[in-house]
Amino acid sequence: MAGTVGLRERKKQQTRQQIFEAARALFETKGFDQVSVAEIARAADVSEVTVFNYFPTKEDLFYGGMQFFEEELIESVRSRPKGESVIRAFRRRLLEGAVRLETRQSAEAILKAARAVPASPSLAAREREIMERYTQGLADLLAQETTADPTDIEPLSVASALMSTHRALVGHVRRRVLAGHRGTRLAEDYRSQARRAFARLERGLAGYAVKK
């Protein structure tokens, strides 16, 4: 039985990856707004219903990796060790991700996003929605940990400051990639910007939501 469940899960993962790869190839050749879900389904050799089962919207196909990282970011705050503040856990996870910027594959993906998002109102809107959703998720976590009153805006203010810094770093990296920065140079620039930004924030947030 366990083997059957494992096989079924692997097939689901393969189908998901198959759909994602088909969509990515079409987005690269035709542009996001010029590709339909029907085209993606045909390229992946699945039905449109199957595509929507794995990716509720076309924008979700484009932002799958981003959403996974946002989930990791919030989980790093949730599972941080005792005695660590939320800002330190948040910063640590962002800095850990800098190593991926050194790869050619990552730079290519960033370049495509840097070009596609400004050219597509639906992608730009979806990116804002994703950031707002995860900002609220982080705020809910902080409110729970600090037992804040439901009307208290402090958790949301802190979450907004952290996520806005994260979003500013994403924008910075995209601009650098468009300008030709790659590899170690790109990663080190990101680390420098992140450390400076969080050092400024930490002056006010160092003692907030320290894990007990």
pLDDT tens over the chain, length 212 residues: 555 558 888 888 899 889 988 988 888 788 888 899 999 999 999 999 999 999 998 888 888 778 888 989 999 999 999 999 999 999 999 999 999 999 988 888 899 899 999 988 999 999 999 999 999 999 999 999 999 998 899 999 999 999 999 999 999 999 999 999 999 999 999 999 999 999 999 988 878 888 87
Indicate the CATH number for domain 63-205.
1.10.357.10
**CB under 8 Å to 180, separation ≥6 — which residues?**
none
174 burial type by CB count under 10 A (0-12 exposed, 13-18 middle, 19+ buried): middle
**CB under 8 Å to 195, separation ≥6 — which residues?**
91, 95
Do the Cβ atoms of 48 and 36 come closer than 8 Å?
Answer: no
In angstroms, rounded to a whole number, what is the distance separating the alpha carbons of residues 194 and 188?
10
Q: Which CATH architecture fits 2-57?
A: Orthogonal Bundle (1.10)
Domain boundaries defined on the chain = 2-57, 63-205
Do the Cβ atoms of 41 and 48 come closer than 8 Å?
Answer: yes
- 2-57 and 63-205 share one fold: no
In angstroms, rounded to a whole number, what is the distance separating the alpha carbons of residues 76 and 85?
11
Do the Cβ atoms of 67 and 192 come closer than 8 Å?
Answer: no
Do the Cβ atoms of 101 and 186 come closer than 8 Å?
Answer: yes
